[in-house]
Structure 1
Amino acid sequence: MSHSSDTADFATRIAGELPYLRRYARALTGSQRSGDQYALATLETMVNDPDGVNREVSPKVALFQGFHAIWISSGAPVENEEEGIRGRAQSLMNKLTTNTREALLLHVIEEFSYSDIAKIMQIDQGEVEEYILIAQRELADTISGKVLIIEDEAIIAMDLESIVSDMGHRITGVARTHQGAVDLGQKERPDLILADIQLADNSSGIDAVNDLLETLGDVPVIFITAFPERLLTGERPEPAFLISKPYTEEQVRLSVSQAMFFASTETLNV
């Protein structure tokens, strides 16, 4: 295979990982707009300077490595222009130890190994492990609250309820249908909504969430789906917090802490 073919193949594989970089960037910044700006800047830099792309690592590691180079050079800024719940979340963000959330998100949400995270962040593997432990402790101290679960599979709903309750949050209810979710949400306002995409009555969990947000206002949302790439297209507003099925307990715990921290999910028009 020629060098040009190798380069084209590598670029194609990097493009395939872009939805996951956008997910990570949004979780990191707490904003689809800000996260997508960083993801776009990363892609533009790699396109304009293909010789600067690290081909000694996997395309996904190379993409995230490029992102972090920009993230660090910009000073990893956290905007604090929001008001209300988002403003409070951003204030909390400013108190976190530098680099800890990046390492934890890369490990738990994007499932990178400690070795790959060290390459992405350009630090020692020992530092990665230390950062993750610090972040876990700090996120465990975030505010507890009330959580509404929208999930039609009983076993998964019970599992989510157990995980979230063990974190110190209170479950306001578990809904299996669109109308059930709306009724529960209006009965008691949750601080967080944890929602599956497909519900028992063949309705959309996204539609249920949008209906709830119209009346509840600014409430963070975590969506759960077996097909995250279907939501991460960049063609419409997307969730800042997205868990892929099958999930791990650690992924749920981190996502809940993150969502409580940022409270920044946009409504989805699909």
Structure 2
Amino acid sequence: MSLAAEITPYIPYLRRFARALTGAQSSGDAYVAAVLEALITDSADFPKNHGAKIGLYQTFIAVWQSIEVNLKMNVLGAESNPGSEKKLQAITPAARQAFLLTTVEGFTNAEAALVLKVSQRDIEQLLDQANKEIAAQVTTNVMIIEDEPLIAMDIESMVEDLGHSVTGIARTHKEAIALFNAHTPGIILADIQLADGSSGLEAVNEILKGFEVPVIFITAFPERLLTGERPEPAFLVTKPFQPDMVRALISQALFFSEGDESRAA
């Protein structure tokens, strides 16, 4: 199998990682493009010892770390904003990489250590550091769009455990629009396919026409969202989900949102 065929299935997920790391899809894609160009130019040095996925992420990290400023501070793309930059300064680059690799990309600690070329003990220390830095960040009001009562209750509990408040739970497109208009949230957690056959994605698109708010989609249909298309910003959790991943993405989405603490009111 060619190298292109081996790495192609992982490129959408690398784009997700790059977007979270840089704070904007366009700047994240620029790094992904640089990785692919490097591999086209010379694929002989591609690390294959631990499989194509780890090798692809290792190559990305090597490109990222080759730019010295990325090792010292968080530099966001042109689509980002001062609010995001201020919040991201609280998360050191190495800790955020470890955090994203394990909680968002699904690497084990051992795999993340391979990607970052550090020891497992180093990864554990970086994750502990990230958790402490994340805990110090902003809390906000959360709107949930979910038609399955048990899942909605689980999400509500996770949100409240993080110190956020829940404005309400909507089960349909119509309920989602009404809930948003009644209580403007700082973040939305949304399913795609709702109880009455309506679309959570369409509800979110309608909301985003008149208001900027970070969105996390919790869905059994990830292929509908791993396209780089709008709505933006958007983060993704695949059902059945891991609670740690939801908690991680809530923090990440809030870091990259335009609003600051004023949204928590």
| TM-score with structure 1 setting the length | 0.88
2:241 to 247, 256, 265: 247
Give the Å deviation of 1:113.
Answer: 1.5
Contact 1:30 1:240 survives alignment (8 Å):
no
Match of 2:216 in 1: 222
Match of 1:15 in 2: 8
1:46 to 31, 39, 45: 39
| 1:137–1:187 distance in 2 versus 1, CA, 3 Å | same
Within 1, Cα distance between the matches of 2:77 and 2:47? Answer: 34
Match of 2:95 in 1: 100
Give the Å deviation of 1:197.
Answer: 1.1
Q: Secondary structure at the match of 1:60?
A: helix
- 1:79 is aligned to 2:76: yes
Q: Secondary structure at the match of 1:79?
A: coil
1:189 to 184, 188, 204: 184
Deviations 1:113-167 (A, max 9, x none): 1221112112222111100111011111111110000011111111000000111
- After superposing on structure 2, the runs of 4+ consecutive aligned residues of structure 1 that deviate more than 6 Å are none
Match of 1:88 in 2: 83
Deviations 1:192-251 (A, max 9, x none): 001111111212211101111223x22111111223233213466665411111111100
What is the percent sequence identity of the aligned residues?
Answer: 46
Q: Describe how 1:53-68 pairs up with structure 2 within 5 A.
A: 53-68=46-61
Contact 1:14 1:60 survives alignment (8 Å):
yes
Contact 2:146 2:194 survives alignment (8 Å):
yes
Give the Å deviation of 1:190.
Answer: 0.2
Give the Å deviation of 1:40.
Answer: 1.7
Within 2, Cα distance between the matches of 1:49 and 1:235? Answer: 30
Deviations 1:15-51 (A, max 9, x none): 1111111111111222111111111211221222110
Contact 2:75 2:85 survives alignment (8 Å):
yes
Contact 2:22 2:77 survives alignment (8 Å):
no
Within 1, Cα distance between the matches of 2:22 and 2:150? Answer: 32
Deviations 1:52-92 (A, max 9, x none): 10111111101111110111112325137668xx4212112
| 1:226–1:64 distance in 2 versus 1, CA, 3 Å | same
Q: How many residues align structurally?
A: 254
Within 1, Cα distance between the matches of 2:229 and 2:99? Answer: 28
Within 2, Cα distance between the matches of 1:90 and 1:62? Answer: 30
Within 2, Cα distance between the matches of 1:235 and 1:194? Answer: 18
RMSD over equivalenced CA pairs, Å: 1.8
Within 1, Cα distance between the matches of 2:232 and 2:44? Answer: 32
What residue ranges of structure 2 are gaps of 5+ in the alignment?
259-265
Match of 1:170 in 2: 165
Within 2, Cα distance between the matches of 1:38 and 1:212? Answer: 30
Within 2, Cα distance between the matches of 1:70 and 1:19? Answer: 18
Deviations 1:172-201 (A, max 9, x none): 010011111000001111000011111112
1:261 to 240, 248, 255: 255
